[in-house]
Amino acid sequence: MEEWQRLIHETITKPEVLARYLDIDVEEVRAVSEKFPFRINPYYLGLIEEKGDPIWRQAVPDLKEIEGNGFEDPLAEEHHSPVPGVTHRYPDRVLFYVSHSCAMYCRFCTRKRKVGSPESVDDQAIEKGLQYIREHLEVRDVIISGGDPLLLPDRKIEYILTQLRAIPHVEILRIGSRAPVTLPQRITPQLCAILKKFHPLFLLTHFNHPREITPEATKACAMLADSGIPLGNQSVLLKGVNDDPQVMKKLVQKLLTIRVKPYLLYQADMVQGTEHLRTTIKEGFEVIKALRGFTSGLAVPHYVIDAPGGGGKIAIMPNPVVYFDDQKIVVQNYEGKLFTYETRNANHEQIPTGPRLGENSLPSRDF
């Protein structure tokens, strides 16, 4: 048995077992897990330093999960599912669910309704999804998702990728996986040897806190990057985890050092059982404002809301446009200073740039 398989084998799913390692109220955890199961493997458990810390909050059931309200499927993913394992919302790309299991059940998960459900994604559902993609010539980008696709055995991952690569209109493959964070041991040389056969293949992972960037996770990302796989990160903004601007800055800076580009920062979805982890949009803006201009632009993710009801992802940011008309735009830079950019007339003939509005530097082109 490989190390990652052993870690899965030793995963804790019972409150009384968890109580041997953590200071929890067994009855509370039991009550929550009847509705929303938990799963914590020894590796991720080992990252917890104290009760209620940012790692704990992502992994350990909280009584608040069964007190609040919210929606089971806030993004109407099932409404946009032409066949059970596929969500086709955008013109040229689809989400393809190939697994319901994960190396850990994150307490904030948007697919809480599905993840950990006893029924696995069966081979027939995968075949139907593949068939749908084959028949839809407009699909040029497939996001292989779940659950966690990398929890499947190597041969199944290879099978799915082989089938998708054989479809001429599919240009790009992406794998969405939290394994580099919650079970980095899953990234083995054998897995990398499989993945690198299917380029262009991207991997989007999901670090939420700088403490998740351990030597193991660093090694996993290095192996993937050395296999030519561009790595991106999609974080969720979570109360008590990464809603502090300094924590987020540290996270995105550290991600670049392990060759992971921060891609998206999600406003937490309105999912049932996750309210206690949601922040306000204002807090999100404070986090983004602390990044833009203050650190490498490459480290700054797009802050997005996945519109409830199935509107898709919408990027939001504190508005840098102070004034705008046919002739000019007045914009504010990261320090709060104002700059004007003007066009002389409707032909967009530009006037020379220079100090405006009493400012002493060139117009900012940062936005």
Ligand X SMILES: *Cc1c(COP(=O)(O)O)cnc(C)c1O
The answer to whether residue 39 is catalytic is no
Distance CA 37, CA 115 (A): 9
With beta carbons less than 8 A apart as the criterion, state whether 55 and 49 touch.
yes
User: Is 93 near ligand X (CB under 6 A)?
Assistant: yes
User: Is 264 near ligand SF4 (CB under 6 A)?
Assistant: no
Q: What are phi and psi of 332, to 5 degrees?
A: -110, 135
Of 11, 41, 87, 177, the one binding ligand X by CB under 6 A: 87
- Give Cα separations from 329 to 199, 317, 347, 367 (angstroms): 42, 17, 16, 12
Handedness of CA 19, 8, 13, 59 (dihedral sign): positive
What is the closest distance, in whole angstroms, from the C-beta atom of residue 133 to ligand SF4 in the complex? 21
Q: How many other C-beta atoms can be found within 10 angstroms of the C-beta atom of residue 26?
A: 13
Out of 57, 112, 269, 292, the active site residue is: 269
Distance CA 99, CA 193 (A): 21
The answer to whether residue 44 is catalytic is no
Of 38, 97, 105, 132, the one binding ligand SF4 by CB under 6 A: 105
**Residue 109 partner contact from ligand SF4, ligand X, none using kind-dependent CB cut-offs of 5 to 8 Å:** ligand SF4
Residues 114-173 that bind ligand SF4 (CB under 6 A): 115, 146-148
Which of 145/227 has CB closer to ligand SF4?
145
**Residue 102 partner contact from ligand SF4, ligand X, none using kind-dependent CB cut-offs of 5 to 8 Å:** ligand SF4
What is the closest distance, in whole angstroms, from the C-beta atom of residue 295 to ligand SF4 in the complex? 26
**Residue 67 has which token pair?**
């007190």
Q: Could you tell me how many residues of this chain bind ligand SF4 (CB under 6 A)? A: 10
Nearest Cα to Cα of residue 365 among 325, 344, 326, 334: 334
Residue 245, exposed/middle/buried by CB under 10 A (0-12, 13-18, 19+)? Answer: middle
Of 89, 136, 196, 199, the one binding ligand X by CB under 6 A: 89
What is the closest distance, in whole angstroms, from the C-beta atom of residue 112 to ligand SF4 in the complex? 7
**Residue 164 partner contact from ligand SF4, ligand X, none using kind-dependent CB cut-offs of 5 to 8 Å:** none
Cβ neighbors of 82 (< 8 A, separation 6 or more) are: 88, 132
User: Is 261 near ligand X (CB under 6 A)?
Assistant: no
Q: What are phi and psi of 253, to 5 degrees?
A: -70, -45
Of 8, 45, 109, 223, the one binding ligand SF4 by CB under 6 A: 109
Which H or E element spans position 286? Answer: helix 281-291
Of 111, 174, 186, 254, the one binding ligand SF4 by CB under 6 A: 111
For 7-27, give the secondary structure using H, E and C. Answer: HHHCCECCHHHHCCCCCCCHH
Which H or E element spans position 324? Answer: strand 321-324
User: Is 219 near ligand X (CB under 6 A)?
Assistant: no
What is the closest distance, in whole angstroms, from the C-beta atom of residue 234 to ligand X in the complex? 9
**Pairing mode, strands 231-237 and 302-307:** unpaired
Of 57, 93, 113, 178, the one binding ligand SF4 by CB under 6 A: 178
Q: 71 has which bridge partners?
A: 271
**Residue 111 partner contact from ligand X, ligand SF4, none using kind-dependent CB cut-offs of 5 to 8 Å:** ligand SF4
Q: What 8-state DSSP symbol labels residue 209?
A: S
The answer to whether residue 186 is catalytic is no
User: Is 143 near ligand X (CB under 6 A)?
Assistant: yes
The answer to whether residue 89 is catalytic is yes
Residues 306-345 that bind ligand X (CB under 6 A): 313
The answer to whether residue 102 is catalytic is yes
Q: 261 has which bridge partners?
A: 232
Active centre residues (catalytic): 89-90, 93, 102, 106, 109, 111, 269, 306, 313
Give contact residues for ligand SF4 (rule: CB under 6 A): 102, 105-106, 109, 111, 115, 146-148, 178
Give contact residues for ligand X (rule: CB under 6 A): 87, 89-90, 93, 95, 143, 313
